[in-house]
Amino acid sequence: MKKIVILVAFVSVMTIFVNESYGDAIDKKIMAHYMPWYQSQPFRGWWGWHWHMNHFNPPATVASHYYPLLGPYDSNDPHILASQALLMKFAGIDGMIADWYGIEDFWDYGLIRDATHHFIQYIKKAQLEFSICYEDRTVGYMLDNGHFANRAEAVAHGKLVMQWLEDNYFTDPSYLKLDSRPVLLCFGPQFFTSLEWTSLFKDLDPKPHFFPLIYHDVPKTGEFDWPAPQDGTNGVTTHLNTFYNRAASYGWGYFIGGAFPRFHDIYEQAGVGPSYGYIDDQDANTYRETLERGLQSNANIVQIVTWNDYGEGTIIEPTQEDGYLYLEITQELRKEYVDSNFPYGAADLRLPVRLYTLRKEHQDNPTVMAQLNMVEDYLFANNLRGAEKLLDQIECTDLITGDIDGDCKVNLYDLAILASAWLSKAGDDNWDPDCNISQPTDNVINFLDFSVFADTFFMWRLSETDVEKTQN
């Protein structure tokens, strides 16, 4: 009998250990913390503070140790939003948590509100989810700068913000929920007190699951984790242990784990203030460790910190320095811990970037832009091979100088078009600018253009012959 009791106890302990370690029974969500606060000169006419911090000179230099692969962009540009939503989907991320500054047109808060709302449309188009991380310190800034007459007025404003979230987001089918209640994060709190938060939620139905930043004692469902750069690289594992032990000891029904690639802020170099500290990427092992730990835990949500905070260097979206590394790791770990049938691979991550890059190159060409709109539709519809084929066609038209008719082949049809425009100049009835292929262009169709065509034609035919020989 004693042996049976010991065996049963052992099995019970092992069952708890397995559930704690791997979260087998948990429907786990991977969400990316997203910064909607960038403005770019090409899109808006001026560069926003988060790209320059009154020190750097975009687009040549930006306020970061890292440079976006897509270039410094605007958070309200529909083309960047489409590509970012698709990148998240193809990386295995379930949605985004917006770093959100409220509803007022104060400082850049209104711009962040509008950019967030715009991005949500693409998040939903990608069949992803979204949530809000409210920065309540913004209310303190508004109070300090005379936007509110007193604290009571600021608290009343907080109630309006919560009601606005309920009316506009909490009831949305794509809003992140746990047991049918919306998930709300707060970076802090840094302004409202515990009693004030209770009053803010009083009239909401259902009340949200509220997650403050780790170590904040307010009425809450649980906490969310965040990097501790002051502890350095060697402190990462200890920090993770502390957070997950804290979740277990407090018995939170729900909590939000954190994964991050590094912490390498630019604040000191920009003259904004002292650095918060430094966490090395350790050849991507920091991200792998933190994400794997979150996926192995009982956290219902693992928040990636962050998608695109360039100022603090916690970026996982593609950069010139790291390429697609962090998104590929996300794919790998999702397949291992969440969904073994996850359908996307590393090559698929390149498609949204190719789409955005070609849109920048051809923004003044309505014909190509219409084709690229079709590429976007294909990608959102999961017709990735159709999108890839169309992207290949557009790109090869750019690369093959002698391909006059744009069919990705250099043949006698191109010669016929060249002949019809022979010896024409700009303004002539038979002028065709697509035939003006000499380098440099001289605005007349002559033997210089024919020479370029002939060189490309024979090289093209030679490569086709080689392909045929190889196939035979």
132 residue type, one letter: I
pLDDT exceeds 80 at position 44: yes
Q: What confidence score (pLDDT) does residue 410 get?
A: 78
Report pLDDT digits (tens) over 7-41.
Answer: 334 334 333 333 343 334 468 999 999 999 999 99
400-451 pLDDT tens trace: 567 766 666 778 888 888 899 999 998 898 988 888 888 777 889 998 888 8
Quick check: 344 and 331 in contact, CB under 8 A?
yes
Span 153-178, average pLDDT = 98
Give me the torsion for CA of 247, 251, 256, 262, rounded to 10°: 0
For residue 327, give the nearest of 228, 411, 259 by alpha carbon: 259
pLDDT of residue 448: 87
- pLDDT mean across residues, the chain: 90
- Rounded Cα–Cα distance for residues 392 and 408 (Å): 9
**pLDDT (0 to 100) of residue 395:** 87
Answer yes or no: are the C-beta atoms of 258 and 302 closer than 8 Å: yes
Residue 326 Cα distances to 101, 225, 285, 288, angstroms? 27, 19, 10, 9
- Per-residue confidence (pLDDT) for residue 302, from 0 to 100: 98
Measured CA to CA, the distance from residue 441 to residue 430 in angstroms comes to: 17
Q: Residue 213 pLDDT more than 70?
A: yes
Cα–Cα distance, 463 to 403 (Å, whole number): 15
Nearest-angstrom CA–CA distance, 327 and 319: 11
- If DSSP states are collapsed to H, E and C, what string results for the chain? CHHHHHHHHHHHHHHHHHHHHHCCCCCCEEEEEECCCCCCHHHHCCCCHHHHCCCCCCCCCCCCCCCECCCCCCCCCHHHHHHHHHHHHHHCCCEEEEEECCCCCCCCHHHHHHHHHHHHHHHHHCCCEEEEEECCHHHHHHHHCCCCCCHHHHHHHHHHHHHHHHHHHHCCCCECEECCEEEEEECCCCCCCHHHHHHHHCCCCCCCEEEEECCCCCCCCCCECCCCHHHCHHHHHHHHHHHHHHHHHHCCCCCEEEECCCEECCHHHHCCCCCCCEECCCCCHHHHHHHHHHHHCCCCEEEECCCCCCCCCCCCCCECCCECHHHHHHHHHHHHHCCCCCCCCHHHHHHHHHHHHHHHHCCCCHHHHHHHHHHHHHHHCCCHHHHHHHHHHHHHHHHCCCCCCCCCCCCHHHHHHHHHCCCCECCCCCCCHHHCCCCCCCCECCHHHHHHHHHHHHHHHHHHHHHHHHHC
CB 65 within 8 A of CB 101: no
Is it the case that residue 87 has pLDDT exceeding 70? Answer: yes
Question: 15-29, 45-59, 73-87 — which is least confidently predicted?
Answer: 15-29
Is the pLDDT at 466 greater than 90, yes or no?
A: no
Question: Which tokens in the block code for residue 463?
Answer: 């490569």
Give 51's contacts (C-beta < 8 A, 6+ positions apart).
38, 39, 40, 58, 62, 63, 72, 310
Side-chain-side CA neighbours of 332 within 13 Å: the count stands at: 12
User: What pLDDT is recorded for position 439?
Assistant: 77
Furthest CA-CA distance within the chain? 103
Q: What's the pLDDT at 431?
A: 86
The CA distance from 451 to 433, in Å, is 16
The angle, 0 to 180 degrees and rounded to 10, between the axes of the packed helices 78-91 and 366-380 is 30
| End-to-end Cα distance, the chain | 75
* Separation CA 28–CA 302 (nearest Å): 7
At residue 426, the pLDDT reads: 84
Are the C-beta atoms of 23 and 297 separated by less than 8 Å? yes
Q: 468 versus 136: which is more confidently predicted?
A: 136
Please compute the mean of the pLDDT values over residues 181-190 and round it to a whole number: 98
Cα–Cα distance, 22 to 455 (Å, whole number): 61
Pairing label, strands 263-264, 209-212: unpaired
Domains in the chain and their CATH numbers?
Answer: 26-344 (3.20.20.80), 410-472 (no CATH)
Residues of the chain with pLDDT > 70, as a percent, come to 89
